[in-house]
Amino acid sequence: MATPVTTATLDLAARFPGAVSADARPGYKGWIVEKDKLIEVSTAIRDEFGYDHLTAVTGVDYLPEGKMEVVYHAFKTTGGPVLTFKVQVPRVDPVEVPSVTPVWPGAEFQEREAWDLLGIKFTNHPDLRRILLWEGFEGHPLRKDWKEAFYEEDAKPFKSRWPEGKHVMAEEKNPFKDNINFPKDFDPEQWVPEGEAALYGALARYQVQEGSLKTDHIVINMGPQHPSTHGVFRAAVTVDGETVVSLKPVMGYLHRNHDKIGERNTFLQNMPFTDRLDYFNSMSNNFGYAVAVEKLMNIQVAERAEYIRVIMAELSRIQNHLVFIGMLGNDLGMMYTPALYAFEERELILDIFEAVAGSRMMCNYYRFGGVVRDLPEGVLEKIKGLVFERLPGKADELDRMLTENEVFVARMKGIKVINAEDAIRYSITGPVLRAAGVPYDIRRADPYSIYDRFDFDIPTRPNGDLMDNYLLRLDEIRQSLRILQQAIKQIPEGPVMTGKPQYQVRVPAGESYGRVESPKGELAFYVVSNGKPNPFRYHVRPASFVNITALEKMCVGTKIADFIAILGVIDIVLGELDR
């Protein structure tokens, strides 16, 4: 188990005089680094200060100040609080910032996302292409002066809905009568699509080896409609025979503009949108967003609500891992049988969600300062029955059915996913990191809510192969059951909300980075408020998206059939990956 390291007072400004200064804006923390010194300072942060895990990279467009800011959040894998550092550049095109991929390769996709949505050019980036949108898209949508086709006002509630209360279809206001917008004098007949030359160009080139057989590589395109890609994920793969030589993931087929819609919404209106991020675990998503905004509002959560939150989040983790095991079976060709076992138990957990929140999947249950309503009568008894009697037995049943199944073992044992060192470099979090042997779990490393009150282990596995990833999920189900059993015994009576329920919450100006251990890894929300009812910047750091950065690293050298299994154990979910 990782012991929390006592952090020595970290003074970057003293270490780099002139290059680093403390962020003095009210409500902000961290350090502002000069653009030219970024790589030098980053290397020192990683090597001297031990912040080996860069989890989030994102940008903020401070239009009123005429600045663009790139925000980095770094952690130690041994535990401890966040180190935030920022780079500020004038908002004049081209907005250029050096890429930190030489220091932390895990930043690659997040920098691509910042380029795509904010138009921040990262110099020295190995493969700077658009990631969520397509090449040729007009503009960078998260810039504050960019307006979508259905633009009405900067912030909700829109005046046409309230107080005027006259609703007009969004199509009526747009000259094209649809959700599209084109520059003046645009002629679609003359348009030459960029195509996918950039994507296929990024794949490794084939070189004939001296004295070897004259073979050729084949480029295979998998997805977005493919039964094994867990949704609309796509990958372009070059194979030599059956061995993967090069691989580029393509995403954005479910990009639902979460960040942009989130900046128009009020703080509370974002809660139901977070449900639709990782749609298996709406409870965990609510948790992350609530933690982030509560940090900013600086309020305490009602005691009973804390327990209810933990109970719901852990139930959510159990059903996620059950489905994971079932779907992994599907990916490996054990069509449906394990999945049917998994879904049987999942339905029982969804019944509880439906009873407390009113919806099976999109729970929208957490509020700032508590949860929306108390547990209905009889639900606690039901949960008790599940976690003390039914689920432990069912976890053992899955274990007996699969763990020693010869075909299952033959497909999984010894197929390396990633080793510990690379996993940390690539910013991987969650079960994939722990299966590689790193005991890093935010519930223990940087405790939030009331996780410090429970007695549970952080399971790890030594080999980091497919089998370990599967076994780790079983371990985690058992640990979650342990937490649940304690929480049910300890849960107190009392109110489930601090203060009165509010339609419009007051959030002081400042920034906050709230993170939770979602079943897929670190789910974090970076929220910037300027004191208005809407977040100025609302960014989601999803686990799936960052974990997929290392996909090429994981897959090169394995067989194409194993690529499916590796994608399966990363446990991506597209709602969260594309947002």
Interacting residues with other proteins (CB under 8 A): 132-134, 136-138, 141, 148-150, 152, 170-171, 175-176, 178-189, 191, 193, 224-227, 231-232, 252-257, 260-261, 264, 272-273, 276, 279-280, 339-341, 343-344, 346-347, 350, 360-362, 574-575
CB of 269 to other proteins, least distance (A): 10
> The tokens of 69 are what?
């800011």
Shortest Cβ 147–other proteins spacing (Å): 9
CB of 271 vs other proteins, minimal distance in Å: 12
- β pairing state of 31-33 and 83-90: parallel
Q: In whole angstroms, give the CA distance from residue 510 to residue 529.
A: 5
Residue closer to other proteins, measured from CB, 83 or 362: 362
From residue 87, how far is each of 19, 54, 389 by CA, in Å? Answer: 11, 15, 53
Min dist CB 250 to other proteins, Å, is 9
- Grouping H, G, I as helix, E, B as strand and the rest as coil, residue 127 is coil
Q: HSE, CB side, 13 Å, CA atoms: give it for residue 511.
A: 24
Nearer to other proteins, 46 or 346 (CB): 346
Q: Supply the minimum distance, in Å, between the C-beta of residue 255 and other proteins.
A: 5
The H-or-E segment that residue 59 falls in is strand 53-62
Greatest CA span in the chain, whole angstroms? 78
Angle in degrees, 0-180, between the axes of helices 303-331 and 466-490, rounded to the nearest 10: 160
Q: Tell me the residue type at 274.
A: T
The tokens of 501 are what? 């329920």
Nearest to other proteins of 344, 421 (CB atom): 344
Instruction: Tell the smallest beta-carbon distance from residue 456 to other proteins (Å).
Output: 28
C-beta of residue 99 within 8 angstroms of C-beta of residue 46 = no
Helix axis angle for 282-297 and 303-331, nearest 10°, is: 140
CB 514 within 8 A of CB 291: yes
Residue 187 CB, shortest distance to other proteins, in Å, is 5
Find the angle CA(391)-CA(396)-CA(401) to the nearest 5 degrees.
125
Q: Based on CB atoms, which residue is closest to other proteins, 104 or 341?
A: 341
Backbone angles phi, psi at 238, to 5 degrees: -100, 130
Residue 39 tokens read as: 């790589």
Q: For residue 471, which of 419, 408, 428, 517 has the smallest C-alpha distance?
A: 408
User: Between residues 189 and 210, which has the closer beta carbon with respect to other proteins?
Assistant: 189
Q: Tell the smallest beta-carbon distance from residue 219 to other proteins (Å).
A: 18
CA dist 213 to 2, 209, 381, 556, 558, Å?
A: 51, 8, 68, 21, 21
**Residue 33: beta bridge partners?**
20, 87
Q: What is the DSSP letter of 156?
A: S
Residues with Cβ within 8 Å of residue 473, at least 6 apart in sequence: 321, 324, 325, 431
Query: Closest approach of Cβ 188 to other proteins, in Å?
Result: 5
By DSSP bridging, strand 218-222 and strand 535-541 are unpaired
Shortest distance, position 337 Cβ to other proteins, whole Å? 11
Q: Whose Cβ is closer to other proteins: residue 246's or residue 282's? A: 282
CA distance 66 to 425: 33
The Cα-based distances of 411 to 334, 360, 402, 408 in angstroms read 11, 34, 12, 5
Task: Name which of 271, 402, 289 is nearest 339 in CA terms.
Answer: 402
Indicate the residue among 141 and 369 with the shorter CB distance to other proteins.
Answer: 141
The smaller minimum CB distance to other proteins, of residues 147 and 482, is found at 147
- In angstroms, the CA 292 to CA 344 distance is 34
173/400 with CB nearer other proteins:
173
In angstroms, what is the minimal distance from the CB of 128 to other proteins? 19
Task: Using the minimum distance from each CB to other proteins, give the nearer residue, 141 or 459.
Answer: 141
Output 93 or 153, the one with its CB closest to other proteins.
153
Smallest separation, CB 22 to other proteins (Å) = 37
Give the residue with the Cβ less far from other proteins, 36 or 182. Answer: 182
> Which CB sits closer to other proteins, 394 or 444?
394
CA distance 302 to 214: 69
Nearest distance, CB of residue 176 and other proteins, angstroms: 6
